[in-house]
A and B are shown apart, each in its own frame.
Chain A
Amino acid sequence: MPKMNLSHFEAAFLFSLLVSVVLGVVTKNTDRERLHYGVYTFVCFLLALFGIGWLMYLGHG
Protein backbone atom coordinates (compact mmCIF):
# COMPACT_ATOMS: atom_id res chain seq x y z
CA MET A 1 0.00 0.00 0.00
CA PRO A 2 1.45 3.42 -0.96
CA LYS A 3 2.29 5.81 1.83
CA MET A 4 0.56 9.18 2.07
CA ASN A 5 2.56 12.07 3.44
CA LEU A 6 0.25 15.04 3.90
CA SER A 7 0.80 18.37 5.63
CA HIS A 8 -1.46 19.42 8.51
CA PHE A 9 -3.53 21.58 6.18
CA GLU A 10 -3.93 18.89 3.50
CA ALA A 11 -4.94 16.25 6.04
CA ALA A 12 -7.41 18.58 7.79
CA PHE A 13 -8.85 19.67 4.41
CA LEU A 14 -9.37 16.06 3.33
CA PHE A 15 -10.89 15.20 6.71
CA SER A 16 -13.30 18.17 6.46
CA LEU A 17 -14.36 17.25 2.93
CA LEU A 18 -15.11 13.59 3.66
CA VAL A 19 -16.87 14.25 6.99
CA SER A 20 -18.98 17.00 5.38
CA VAL A 21 -20.14 14.63 2.64
CA VAL A 22 -21.31 12.04 5.19
CA LEU A 23 -22.92 14.61 7.50
CA GLY A 24 -24.72 16.12 4.54
CA VAL A 25 -26.02 12.72 3.43
CA VAL A 26 -27.26 11.45 6.81
CA THR A 27 -28.76 14.51 8.46
CA LYS A 28 -31.44 16.14 6.29
CA ASN A 29 -34.57 15.08 4.44
CA THR A 30 -34.33 16.53 0.93
CA ASP A 31 -31.44 16.58 -1.53
CA ARG A 32 -31.37 20.39 -1.52
CA GLU A 33 -31.15 20.50 2.30
CA ARG A 34 -28.45 17.82 2.24
CA LEU A 35 -26.35 19.79 -0.24
CA HIS A 36 -26.76 22.99 1.77
CA TYR A 37 -25.86 21.28 5.04
CA GLY A 38 -22.85 19.54 3.51
CA VAL A 39 -21.50 22.83 2.13
CA TYR A 40 -22.31 24.60 5.41
CA THR A 41 -20.39 22.06 7.54
CA PHE A 42 -17.46 22.15 5.11
CA VAL A 43 -17.27 25.96 5.31
CA CYS A 44 -17.49 25.74 9.13
CA PHE A 45 -14.63 23.23 9.18
CA LEU A 46 -12.49 25.50 6.99
CA LEU A 47 -13.27 28.59 9.07
CA ALA A 48 -12.32 26.70 12.25
CA LEU A 49 -9.18 25.39 10.52
CA PHE A 50 -7.98 28.84 9.48
CA GLY A 51 -9.17 30.52 12.73
CA ILE A 52 -7.47 28.04 15.06
CA GLY A 53 -4.41 27.98 12.78
CA TRP A 54 -4.01 31.75 13.07
CA LEU A 55 -4.67 31.64 16.84
CA MET A 56 -1.88 29.09 17.27
CA TYR A 57 0.45 31.09 15.03
CA LEU A 58 -0.18 34.34 16.92
CA GLY A 59 -0.18 32.63 20.33
CA HIS A 60 3.13 30.98 19.60
CA GLY A 61 4.79 34.41 19.44
Chain B
Amino acid sequence: MEIPYTISNRPDTGLWNAKIGIWLFLASEVMLFGGLFSAYIFLRLDAPAGVWPHGLLNVPVGTMNTAILILSSVTVVLAWASLKMRRYRAYWWYMLVTILCGIIFLVVKLAYEWPQKFDHFGAYIKPEALEKYERYLGNHRLAEKGLPLRVEITGHLHNHEALADPNIKEYEIGLDPVNADPSNPAMDRPHFLYVPPTDKVGTIEKADVERATMFLPTHSTYFATYFTITGLHGLHVFGGVVVFIYMWLPVSKRLYQRNPEHLANRVEVCGLFWHFVDLVWIFVFPLFYLL
Protein backbone atom coordinates (compact mmCIF):
# COMPACT_ATOMS: atom_id res chain seq x y z
CA MET B 1 0.00 0.00 0.00
CA GLU B 2 1.20 3.48 -0.87
CA ILE B 3 0.47 6.58 1.21
CA PRO B 4 -2.56 8.23 -0.41
CA TYR B 5 -3.46 11.91 -0.85
CA THR B 6 0.11 13.19 -1.15
CA ILE B 7 -0.87 15.25 -4.19
CA SER B 8 -4.58 14.87 -4.74
CA ASN B 9 -7.32 15.77 -2.28
CA ARG B 10 -9.01 13.37 0.08
CA PRO B 11 -12.66 13.64 -0.89
CA ASP B 12 -14.17 14.21 2.56
CA THR B 13 -11.65 16.79 3.76
CA GLY B 14 -10.96 18.34 0.36
CA LEU B 15 -7.27 18.64 1.25
CA TRP B 16 -3.97 16.94 0.53
CA ASN B 17 -1.74 15.81 3.38
CA ALA B 18 0.95 18.47 3.42
CA LYS B 19 -1.58 21.29 3.40
CA ILE B 20 -3.00 20.05 6.70
CA GLY B 21 0.51 19.41 7.97
CA ILE B 22 1.73 22.93 7.27
CA TRP B 23 -1.33 24.53 8.83
CA LEU B 24 -0.88 22.47 11.98
CA PHE B 25 2.76 23.49 12.02
CA LEU B 26 1.76 27.12 11.61
CA ALA B 27 -0.73 26.74 14.45
CA SER B 28 2.11 25.69 16.67
CA GLU B 29 4.21 28.59 15.35
CA VAL B 30 1.39 30.93 16.30
CA MET B 31 1.64 29.59 19.83
CA LEU B 32 5.43 29.98 19.82
CA PHE B 33 5.36 33.61 18.80
CA GLY B 34 2.25 34.04 20.93
CA GLY B 35 4.32 33.04 23.93
CA LEU B 36 7.04 35.52 23.01
CA PHE B 37 4.64 38.40 22.37
CA SER B 38 2.79 37.54 25.55
CA ALA B 39 6.11 37.83 27.40
CA TYR B 40 6.73 41.15 25.65
CA ILE B 41 3.38 42.51 26.85
CA PHE B 42 3.94 41.15 30.36
CA LEU B 43 7.38 42.72 30.66
CA ARG B 44 6.35 46.01 29.10
CA LEU B 45 3.37 46.31 31.44
CA ASP B 46 5.67 45.52 34.35
CA ALA B 47 8.26 48.14 33.39
CA PRO B 48 8.22 51.34 35.52
CA ALA B 49 7.14 54.52 33.72
CA GLY B 50 9.78 55.99 31.43
CA VAL B 51 12.08 52.98 31.53
CA TRP B 52 10.88 51.35 28.31
CA PRO B 53 13.10 52.88 25.60
CA HIS B 54 11.75 54.52 22.46
CA GLY B 55 13.28 55.53 19.20
CA LEU B 56 16.48 53.50 19.53
CA LEU B 57 16.04 51.60 16.28
CA ASN B 58 16.60 52.78 12.75
CA VAL B 59 13.11 53.40 11.35
CA PRO B 60 13.88 53.92 7.62
CA VAL B 61 15.93 50.72 7.52
CA GLY B 62 13.19 48.86 9.38
CA THR B 63 10.59 50.20 6.96
CA MET B 64 12.72 49.13 4.03
CA ASN B 65 13.06 45.63 5.47
CA THR B 66 9.30 45.46 5.97
CA ALA B 67 8.78 46.44 2.35
CA ILE B 68 11.28 43.80 1.24
CA LEU B 69 9.46 41.08 3.13
CA ILE B 70 6.11 42.18 1.71
CA LEU B 71 7.59 42.19 -1.77
CA SER B 72 8.91 38.68 -1.26
CA SER B 73 5.47 37.56 -0.09
CA VAL B 74 4.00 38.87 -3.32
CA THR B 75 6.63 37.20 -5.47
CA VAL B 76 6.23 33.85 -3.76
CA VAL B 77 2.48 33.85 -4.34
CA LEU B 78 3.13 34.85 -7.96
CA ALA B 79 5.63 32.02 -8.24
CA TRP B 80 2.94 29.61 -7.11
CA ALA B 81 0.39 31.10 -9.50
CA SER B 82 2.92 30.74 -12.35
CA LEU B 83 3.25 27.06 -11.57
CA LYS B 84 -0.51 26.69 -11.54
CA MET B 85 -0.51 28.26 -14.99
CA ARG B 86 2.37 25.93 -15.93
CA ARG B 87 4.85 28.70 -16.65
CA TYR B 88 8.06 27.34 -15.21
CA ARG B 89 10.25 30.19 -16.52
CA ALA B 90 8.21 32.82 -14.68
CA TYR B 91 8.18 30.63 -11.59
CA TRP B 92 11.96 30.45 -11.70
CA TRP B 93 12.32 34.23 -11.84
CA TYR B 94 9.78 34.95 -9.11
CA MET B 95 11.48 32.39 -6.89
CA LEU B 96 14.85 34.01 -7.49
CA VAL B 97 13.46 37.40 -6.44
CA THR B 98 11.97 35.83 -3.31
CA ILE B 99 15.26 34.25 -2.36
CA LEU B 100 17.14 37.49 -2.94
CA CYS B 101 14.62 39.41 -0.83
CA GLY B 102 15.09 36.95 2.00
CA ILE B 103 18.86 37.22 1.78
CA ILE B 104 18.75 41.03 1.67
CA PHE B 105 16.51 41.06 4.72
CA LEU B 106 18.93 38.87 6.65
CA VAL B 107 22.01 40.79 5.56
CA VAL B 108 20.47 44.11 6.56
CA LYS B 109 19.49 42.65 9.91
CA LEU B 110 22.68 40.82 10.76
CA ALA B 111 25.34 42.91 9.04
CA TYR B 112 23.93 46.38 9.59
CA GLU B 113 21.17 46.76 12.20
CA TRP B 114 22.46 44.43 14.90
CA PRO B 115 26.14 45.52 14.72
CA GLN B 116 25.05 49.16 14.85
CA LYS B 117 23.32 48.39 18.15
CA PHE B 118 26.23 46.37 19.50
CA ASP B 119 28.39 49.45 18.87
CA HIS B 120 26.12 51.81 20.81
CA PHE B 121 26.59 52.56 24.49
CA GLY B 122 24.25 53.50 27.30
CA ALA B 123 24.83 54.37 30.96
CA TYR B 124 22.01 54.39 33.51
CA ILE B 125 22.62 57.12 36.07
CA LYS B 126 21.99 56.47 39.76
CA PRO B 127 18.93 58.36 41.02
CA GLU B 128 20.98 60.46 43.43
CA ALA B 129 23.33 61.59 40.64
CA LEU B 130 20.66 62.60 38.13
CA GLU B 131 20.93 66.25 39.12
CA LYS B 132 24.68 66.20 38.44
CA TYR B 133 24.08 65.29 34.79
CA GLU B 134 21.19 67.68 34.23
CA ARG B 135 23.09 69.22 31.31
CA TYR B 136 22.84 65.91 29.42
CA LEU B 137 19.37 64.89 30.63
CA GLY B 138 17.24 68.03 30.66
CA ASN B 139 14.95 66.58 33.30
CA HIS B 140 13.84 69.93 34.76
CA ARG B 141 11.99 70.83 31.61
CA LEU B 142 10.53 67.31 31.25
CA ALA B 143 9.29 67.40 34.84
CA GLU B 144 7.56 70.72 34.14
CA LYS B 145 5.81 69.27 31.10
CA GLY B 146 4.87 66.11 33.02
CA LEU B 147 6.86 63.82 30.74
CA PRO B 148 8.77 60.78 32.03
CA LEU B 149 12.30 61.60 33.14
CA ARG B 150 15.46 60.48 31.35
CA VAL B 151 17.74 58.22 33.36
CA GLU B 152 20.12 57.02 30.67
CA ILE B 153 22.91 58.75 28.74
CA THR B 154 23.66 57.14 25.38
CA GLY B 155 26.08 57.54 22.52
CA HIS B 156 29.34 56.28 21.10
CA LEU B 157 31.80 55.05 23.74
CA HIS B 158 35.23 56.54 23.04
CA ASN B 159 37.20 54.69 25.69
CA HIS B 160 36.08 51.10 25.12
CA GLU B 161 38.69 49.82 27.57
CA ALA B 162 36.71 51.49 30.37
CA LEU B 163 34.18 48.69 30.24
CA ALA B 164 36.64 46.09 31.54
CA ASP B 165 39.33 48.10 33.30
CA PRO B 166 38.43 49.03 36.91
CA ASN B 167 41.31 51.58 37.02
CA ILE B 168 39.58 53.85 34.50
CA LYS B 169 37.14 55.91 36.53
CA GLU B 170 34.97 57.46 33.85
CA TYR B 171 33.27 56.86 30.51
CA GLU B 172 33.87 59.22 27.60
CA ILE B 173 30.84 59.27 25.36
CA GLY B 174 30.24 60.89 21.98
CA LEU B 175 26.72 61.93 22.98
CA ASP B 176 23.59 61.08 21.07
CA PRO B 177 21.69 64.22 19.94
CA VAL B 178 19.11 63.75 22.68
CA ASN B 179 21.82 64.01 25.36
CA ALA B 180 23.84 66.61 23.49
CA ASP B 181 20.90 68.99 23.28
CA PRO B 182 18.47 67.76 25.96
CA SER B 183 16.45 70.96 26.35
CA ASN B 184 15.41 71.03 22.68
CA PRO B 185 11.67 70.08 22.52
CA ALA B 186 12.35 68.36 19.19
CA MET B 187 14.15 65.68 21.21
CA ASP B 188 11.03 64.74 23.19
CA ARG B 189 9.81 62.45 20.45
CA PRO B 190 11.79 59.90 18.41
CA HIS B 191 13.16 60.91 15.02
CA PHE B 192 12.24 59.29 11.77
CA LEU B 193 15.72 59.45 10.27
CA TYR B 194 18.61 57.94 12.14
CA VAL B 195 20.80 60.64 13.70
CA PRO B 196 24.31 59.50 14.56
CA PRO B 197 26.07 60.46 17.82
CA THR B 198 27.35 64.06 17.82
CA ASP B 199 30.92 65.31 18.26
CA LYS B 200 30.09 66.57 21.72
CA VAL B 201 31.85 64.41 24.29
CA GLY B 202 30.32 63.81 27.70
CA THR B 203 32.24 62.47 30.66
CA ILE B 204 30.43 60.30 33.17
CA GLU B 205 31.98 59.06 36.38
CA LYS B 206 31.60 55.36 36.93
CA ALA B 207 30.69 56.02 40.56
CA ASP B 208 27.50 57.76 39.36
CA VAL B 209 26.51 54.95 37.03
CA GLU B 210 24.14 52.25 38.12
CA ARG B 211 24.75 50.10 35.12
CA ALA B 212 26.47 50.64 31.77
CA THR B 213 26.52 48.33 28.77
CA MET B 214 26.59 48.35 25.02
CA PHE B 215 23.18 47.89 23.37
CA LEU B 216 23.31 44.13 23.84
CA PRO B 217 20.47 41.87 24.93
CA THR B 218 21.65 42.40 28.50
CA HIS B 219 21.08 46.18 28.22
CA SER B 220 17.38 46.09 29.10
CA THR B 221 14.28 43.94 28.79
CA TYR B 222 13.50 46.00 25.68
CA PHE B 223 16.66 44.89 23.89
CA ALA B 224 16.33 41.42 25.36
CA THR B 225 12.92 40.96 23.74
CA TYR B 226 14.06 42.76 20.57
CA PHE B 227 17.06 40.51 19.98
CA THR B 228 15.22 37.34 20.99
CA ILE B 229 12.18 37.91 18.82
CA THR B 230 14.03 39.29 15.80
CA GLY B 231 16.63 36.56 16.20
CA LEU B 232 14.03 33.83 16.22
CA HIS B 233 12.24 35.52 13.34
CA GLY B 234 15.56 35.72 11.49
CA LEU B 235 16.05 31.98 11.98
CA HIS B 236 12.66 31.44 10.36
CA VAL B 237 13.63 33.65 7.42
CA PHE B 238 16.87 31.71 7.09
CA GLY B 239 15.02 28.39 7.12
CA GLY B 240 12.61 29.67 4.49
CA VAL B 241 15.44 30.85 2.23
CA VAL B 242 17.21 27.49 2.46
CA VAL B 243 14.05 25.64 1.45
CA PHE B 244 13.32 28.11 -1.35
CA ILE B 245 16.81 27.63 -2.74
CA TYR B 246 16.14 23.91 -2.85
CA MET B 247 12.87 24.55 -4.69
CA TRP B 248 14.65 26.76 -7.16
CA LEU B 249 17.58 24.48 -8.00
CA PRO B 250 17.44 22.16 -11.05
CA VAL B 251 15.89 19.40 -8.90
CA SER B 252 12.67 21.37 -9.02
CA LYS B 253 12.73 21.35 -12.83
CA ARG B 254 12.89 17.58 -12.82
CA LEU B 255 10.00 17.37 -10.35
CA TYR B 256 8.07 19.85 -12.50
CA GLN B 257 8.51 17.68 -15.57
CA ARG B 258 7.44 14.59 -13.65
CA ASN B 259 4.44 16.13 -11.92
CA PRO B 260 3.93 19.91 -12.04
CA GLU B 261 1.12 19.77 -9.49
CA HIS B 262 3.47 18.19 -6.95
CA LEU B 263 5.91 21.09 -7.27
CA ALA B 264 3.04 23.59 -7.10
CA ASN B 265 1.88 21.96 -3.87
CA ARG B 266 5.35 22.14 -2.39
CA VAL B 267 5.65 25.80 -3.30
CA GLU B 268 2.22 26.47 -1.83
CA VAL B 269 3.21 24.86 1.47
CA CYS B 270 6.50 26.75 1.68
CA GLY B 271 4.72 29.90 0.61
CA LEU B 272 2.27 29.54 3.49
CA PHE B 273 5.22 29.36 5.87
CA TRP B 274 6.79 32.39 4.23
CA HIS B 275 3.61 34.42 4.53
CA PHE B 276 3.47 33.52 8.19
CA VAL B 277 7.02 34.81 8.67
CA ASP B 278 5.94 38.00 6.93
CA LEU B 279 2.89 38.18 9.18
CA VAL B 280 5.01 37.98 12.33
CA TRP B 281 7.18 40.80 11.05
CA ILE B 282 4.09 42.93 10.47
CA PHE B 283 3.68 42.93 14.26
CA VAL B 284 7.36 43.03 15.18
CA PHE B 285 8.01 46.16 13.13
CA PRO B 286 5.63 48.61 14.85
CA LEU B 287 6.07 47.08 18.32
CA PHE B 288 9.83 47.50 18.39
CA TYR B 289 10.61 50.23 15.89
CA LEU B 290 7.75 52.63 16.30
CA LEU B 291 5.98 52.34 19.63
Q: Do A and B bind each other?
A: no
Chain B residues at the A interface, C-beta cutoff of 8 Å: none
Chain A residues at the B interface, C-beta cutoff of 8 Å: none
